């Protein structure tokens, strides 16, 4: 759609199992998180598939910390181009990949302690490379450096489901009503 809401084109028909998240990277690449087939895909704005992370319909073992079991969101570092993926429905992890798709590291496990998650549902990165994870069922946002070290925690947020850093550097959080 253009800015006035006029339909231009579409793409992706027959590709997705259950598209769950979409993110436009700093280079205008379009990242689609598919929690139905356990993959994350990178596309051009014309819909050309550029990269796939994960293997279609082959989830990692549940709560194993390995990529992916029903991933939920993605963000891209402005500084390095590294990809940060929240893996929340069948896992409780954050995965870091290089811009070329090489796995760098993962962190997190299921639980309520610092660095643990109960449905990490979305993720964002600010310009200073702080990683914000919407820890939905723990009613909080945990903030990490890019190596997974906890920097801060914001509590008492009702089921944070979406999180983005605006061009004004403010953090915008969508809370789940139910």
Answer yes or no: are the C-beta atoms of 86 and 121 closer than 8 Å.
yes
CB atoms under 10 Å from CB of 165, counted, come to 18
Answer yes or no: are the C-beta atoms of 108 and 93 closer than 8 Å.
yes
* Alpha-carbon gap, residue 40 to 19, rounded angstroms: 9
- How crowded is the C-beta side of 77, counted as CA atoms within 13 Å? 19
Cα torsion angle, 122, 25, 148, 156, sign = negative
Q: What are the two backbone dihedrals, phi and then psi, of residue 153, each rounded to the nearest 5 degrees?
A: -145, 130
Helix (H, G, I), strand (E, B) or coil at 46: coil
Whether pLDDT at 178 is above 80: no
* Alpha-carbon gap, residue 75 to 85, rounded angstroms: 7
**What is the model's pTM?**
0.95
Q: Which two tokens stand for residue 144?
A: 């990490």
CB atoms under 10 Å from CB of 1, counted, come to 9
pLDDT digits (tens, 9 = 90+) for 155-177: 999 999 999 999 999 999 999 98
pLDDT digits (tens, 9 = 90+) for 25-70: 999 999 999 999 999 999 999 999 999 999 999 999 999 999 999 9
CB-count exposure of residue 20 (10 Å: 0-12, 13-18, 19+): buried
């Amino acid at each position: 759609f253009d800015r006035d809401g006029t339909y231009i084109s579409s793409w992706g028909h027959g590709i997705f199992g259950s598209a769950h998240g979409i993110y436009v990277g700093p280079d205008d690449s379009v990242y689609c998180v598919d929690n139905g087939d356990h993959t994350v895909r990178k596309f051009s704005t014309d819909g050309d598939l550029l990269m796939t992370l994960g293997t279609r319909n082959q989830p990692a073992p549940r709560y194993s910390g390995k990529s992916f079991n029903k991933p939920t969101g993605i963000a891209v570092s402005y500084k390095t181009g590294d990809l940060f993926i929240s893996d929340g429905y069948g896992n409780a992890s954050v995965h870091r990949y290089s811009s070329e798709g090489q796995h760098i590291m993962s962190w997190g496990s299921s639980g309520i302690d610092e660095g643990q998650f109960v449905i990490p549902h979305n993720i964002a990165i600010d310009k200073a490379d702080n990683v914000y994870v919407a820890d939905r069922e723990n009613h909080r946002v945990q903030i990490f450096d890019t190596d997974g070290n906890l920097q801060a925690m914001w509590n008492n947020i009702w089921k944070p489901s979406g999180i983005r850093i605006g061009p004004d550097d403010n953090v915008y959080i969508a809370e789940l009503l139910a």
